[in-house]
Amino acid sequence: MVRFIAVVAAVLVGSPVLGAADSPRQQYLIKVRLVEHCDDHCQANDKTRVLAEPKLVTVEGREANYLVGGQMTVGDTAIDFGTSLKLHIEGADAGAVNVKGVVETSQVDQGRENLATRNSTAIYFQRSLELGKTARYELAQPNGATRVLEFSIEKVTGLPPDSVVSQDAPADVPRPVSSGASAVRR
């Protein structure tokens, strides 16, 4: 069974940073933009389309995950597909952060009942990124399109520790949501 839904998830995973009780961990706002560009061989009328533009909040030292795509079930195993971003942020200095992560795009084909193949392309990276500057990664697609994932990171103040902001939170007043929050867009 294939479910075609766009899933936007912000998940905080991992154990607390040592000494977290003594000092609060820095929170970061991650602005993500996923765009698909088609070349002249694409059948699409619109050669550029924005697939998603979520905003996520994570805590320094914890992994933040984002997925836009769907899910296929084979037996009792759920197989995610689409484009995902996983980031781990550590503070470097006042104007930059150390970021390591992976951007992956995948497709799932179901050959027959209880059998599926998953093909993916991933970029693993580790870099220093100035706060407010945009990182950009391109992933070629089999249909001749290119998916471009861009993100920038800013420091956040005023949210309760270990909170997650959903995509539809007001821009001027972040709305805290419990860890593991997700929103489904159809």
**What are the boundaries of each domain within the chain?**
2-14+25-185
Series of mean pLDDT values for 10-residue runs along the chain (186 residues): 44 41 77 84 70 91 90 88 91 87 89 84 92 90 80 83 47 37 34
* SS3 call for 43: coil
Per-residue confidence (pLDDT) for residue 38, from 0 to 100: 79
Per-residue confidence (pLDDT) for residue 153, from 0 to 100: 94
Q: Is 61 left (phi over 0), alpha (psi -120 to 50) or beta?
A: left
Instruction: Dump pLDDT digits (tens) for 74-97.
Output: 888 888 899 889 999 998 777 899
Per-residue confidence (pLDDT) for residue 168, from 0 to 100: 42
pTM across the whole model: 0.67
Q: Yes or no: say if 64 and 30 are a contact pair by the CB < 8 Å rule.
A: yes
Q: Yes or no: say if 87 and 30 are a contact pair by the CB < 8 Å rule.
A: yes
Per-residue confidence (pLDDT) for residue 46, from 0 to 100: 66
Per-residue confidence (pLDDT) for residue 41, from 0 to 100: 59
